[in-house]
Homo-oligomer: A and B are copies of this chain.
Amino acid sequence: MATIKDVAKRAGVAVSTASYALNGINKVSQATVDKVLKAAQELNYQKNGIASDLKRTKTNTIALILSDLSGPYFSELIKGVQDVTTSNGYDLIACSSVGGDKSTATKFLREKRVDGAIVLATNISTEAIKASAREDFPIVVLDREVANPHVIHVEVDNQQGGYDATKHLLYKGHRSIAYVSGPLDSHDNKERFKGYKAALAASEIPYHSRWTINGDFTREGGYRATRTLIAQQNLPEAIFYANDEMAIGGLQAFSEKGIRVPEDISIIGFDDIQLAAYVHPPLTTVRQPKYEAGSLSVHLIFQMLAGESVDQTYKLATEFVERDSVKKR
Tell me whether B113 and A86 are in contact (CB under 8 A).
Answer: no
Q: A111-B50, A275-B275, A278-B275 are in contact. Are A44 and B131 (CB under 8 A)?
A: yes
Nearest-neighbour CB distance to chain B for A152, whole angstroms, equals 20
Segment at the interface with B among A18-26, A51-59, A138-146, A159-167: A51-59
Query: How many of chain A's residues have a CB under 8 angstroms from any CB in B?
Result: 50
The interface bits of chain A over 113-156 (1 if a CB of B lies within 8 angstroms of the residue's CB, else 0) are 10000000000000000011010100000000000000000000
Q: Which chain B residues lie closer than 8 Å to A112 at the CB level?
A: 1, 46, 48-50
Q: A92-B95, A98-B82, A134-B1 are in contact. Are A50 and B48 (CB under 8 A)?
A: no
Closest residue to A132 on the B side, CB-wise? B46
Closest residue to A71 on the B side, CB-wise? B75
CA distance A236 to B279 in the complex (A): 29
Question: Is the CB of A315 closer than 8 A to any CB of chain B?
Answer: no
Interface members, chain A 53-77 (any B CB < 8 Å) = 53-54, 59, 61, 64, 68-72, 75-76
Nearest-neighbour CB distance to chain B for A136, whole angstroms, equals 8
CA distance A86 to B102 in the complex (A): 11
Tell me whether B54 and A110 are in contact (CB under 8 A).
Answer: no
Tell me whether A92 and B96 are in contact (CB under 8 A).
Answer: yes
Q: Which chain B residues lie closer than 8 Å to A68 at the CB level?
A: 82
Question: Is the CB of A104 closer than 8 A to any CB of chain B?
Answer: yes
Question: Is the CB of A323 closer than 8 A to any CB of chain B?
Answer: no
Tell me whether B94 and A82 are in contact (CB under 8 A).
Answer: no
Tell me whether B111 and A46 are in contact (CB under 8 A).
Answer: yes
